[in-house]
Amino acid sequence: MSLSVIVAFFLAAIIIQSYIRSYLRLRHVPGPWFASFSLAFMTWTIISGRMWLIYNDLQKKYGPLVRIGPNDLITDDPAIIKRMSAVRSDYLRSTWYQSRIDPYVTNIISERDTKVHDKRRAQMAAGYAGRETPMVEADIDAQVLSLVKLLKMKYLSDSKTLRPVDFAEKASFLTLDVITKVAYGFPFGFLQSDSDVHQYMAIMEKFWMPGNIANTLPWLNTILAHPLFLKFVAPKVTDKIGMGKVMGIAKEVVAERFGPDAKDRQDMLGAFVRHGLSQRQAESEVMFQLIAGSDTTATAIRATLLYIVTNPLVISKLRQELDAAASEGRISSPISSTEANALLYLQAVLLEGFRIHPPFTGLAMKEVPPGGDTLCGLFIPEGTRVGHNIWMLQRNKIIYGEDVELFRPERWLDVSADKRAEMEQQLDLIFGYGRWGCMGKSVARMELTKSICELVRQFDFQLINPTQPWTVANYSLFVHHDMWMKITERNSG
């Protein structure tokens, strides 16, 4: 027998043994058998652009804990999700988190060291909480009014002229201008120019799929973090477009806060600086705000508006409430957060919008601690990655009722106070939980509230193609296009 044959035999034996060991490790957890041997199933799921639907179907078929990879599980059990993310939990962030927006330094989402993460979160908390950022609501108001102005100037249709607008794009323009104003101190001007400034959106959309694959494949992240890759391929502050351009702007804006003539400012970046973030950390965090604070909120605005305008009963009841409040002088334009909180049907609509279409479906996988753990009555060995199925979580019939696929705001009103609290706790999991919870959820909710109120009060919307209201792909974040609508100015009387 030749040496080459012997080597091939041993290599084949090693590979087969590896596959067998992978299979045996979690063989007691149900799931598609081919997912047990390699990460190919998870990778294919991402590439398909249908990951939220595929994982949803698996959860329906196999139950609350499903095997989706050799070392990977997914769950829609809220108790498990809370347990993994609790402040005193022994679970850690898994390798799923190590992909970075800024390839050179970690941020609040990519930092896996719990102590480092908790310290940075504490440094940033005041900026997000609003105590030291009194202008956030006014900044959001200004951009909502900019969106209204743009629609009135360029996209109003009438009986003679159709001026179709891709609302998916305009929603992104709004949220990008909001977050750049909040994080950088000035809006980049997406709404003012009615264009994709710095080609940011087009370039970042190409990043979502490979970035999500990198979260799934730890070895790929190792390659992406290698100095040679960073030197020749990664974005740089000297780039004229895309993420590199944004990195350059972040570097300039943050440098002003650390220079010899730096002045303290009452905004988020100012709060970060006051509470001890280094210059390089601040650069990374304002870049992350741009990612986390724009696409997810834009998705929430698109989806909520879509469900409102395609449900005559809902839009009629919502307008009755808004018109009555306006006629009695109880709401401003744009509506304030305090005013909005007093409108019960509006709040039910917004909650239902988040529930029916959670804007983020990333697995956010945690790592089972040393010694293993028992989940759903099954022993799970240490080092296993366990992901969240947020989409299925918000279709729990025990929590929300049998009609979970129906957009029905009344479900939040026709219940006891205790049941409403239970539902809100379940819904809040779309923003994470415990030490890993989203710090920007109050800003996102404020944007959704103000934009939906102003749009519904001022305009009538008609889908140009109701059989296909948008094109959609999902890579943890949703990518929407072609949400073509006819918009006319509303005469409320």
Nearest-angstrom CA–CA distance, 251 and 264: 17
DSSP helix/strand/coil, 32: coil
26: left (phi over 0), alpha (psi -120 to 50) or beta: alpha
DSSP line for 70-111: TTEEEE--HHHHHHHHSTT-S-EE-GGG---SSTTS--TTT-
- Asked if 478 and 472 count as a contact pair (C-beta separation under 8 A), the reply is yes
User: Other CB atoms closer than 10 Å to residue 379's CB: what's the count?
Assistant: 12
**Longest distance between any two alpha carbons in the chain, whole Å:** 93
Which residue type does 63 have? G
Which residue type does 198 have? H
Which residue type does 254 have? V
- Asked if 222 and 237 count as a contact pair (C-beta separation under 8 A), the reply is no
Q: Beta strand 366-367 with 471-475: parallel, antiparallel or unpaired?
A: unpaired
**Cα 433 from chain centroid?**
14
Helix, strand and coil percent figures for the chain, each rounded to 5: 60, 10, 30
Which residue type does 80 have? I
User: Other CB atoms closer than 10 Å to residue 316's CB: what's the count?
Assistant: 10
* Six-digit token string for 253: 């804006």
Tell me which residue of 147, 486, 162 sits closest to 334, measured CA to CA: 147
Tell me which residue of 261, 285, 259 sits closest to 271, measured CA to CA: 285
Residue found under tokens 């959860």: 59
Nearest-angstrom CA–CA distance, 96 and 64: 21
Tell me which residue of 170, 174, 192, 194 sits closest to 182, measured CA to CA: 174
Instruction: Check whether 438 is labelled as a binding-site residue.
Output: yes
242, containing H or E segment: helix 242-258
DSSP helix/strand/coil, 261: coil
Beta bridge partners of 484: 166
Q: In sequence order, which ranges of 267-416 are alpha helices (DSSP H)?
A: 268-274, 279-292, 295-309, 312-327, 337-341, 344-356, 390-393, 397-400
Tell me which residue of 183, 215, 150 sits closest to 475, measured CA to CA: 215
Q: From the annotation, which residues make up the binding site?
A: 438
Q: From the annotation, which residues make up the binding site for heme?
A: 438
